[in-house]
Amino acid sequence: MKKKNWPKAIREMVVSTQHDALWIAEHMPAKATTTGQRKLQKRHGTPREFALALIRAIGEISILEAQTAAEKYKREWERAV
């Protein structure tokens, strides 16, 4: 079932959870400084943008899945030269 078809109480809970999960993106890099990072940015955005997209997906994915994916992408970003 798509989010827009969820009961109002569930939608409100998901929005509240998404808001509470903003801490995932707070300390993520927001600017590319290497060629490798610029390539990643073109494909997936900066780690902050990627984390925010994951946060918007909460409800379809869990907070743990969002956090794990954001941290994995951040590690890939940091290794990109």
Contact present, 53 and 12 (Cβ < 8 Å): no
In degrees and rounded to multiples of 5, residue 61 shows phi and psi of -125, 165
Q: Quick one: how far is CA 14 from the chain centroid?
A: 15
The pTM of the full predicted model, rounded to 2 decimals, is 0.83
**Coil, strand or helix at 35:** helix
Mean pLDDT to the nearest integer, 61-69 = 92
For residue range 33-64, list pLDDT tens digits in order.
999 999 999 999 999 999 999 998 988 999 89
Strand partners, 58: 61
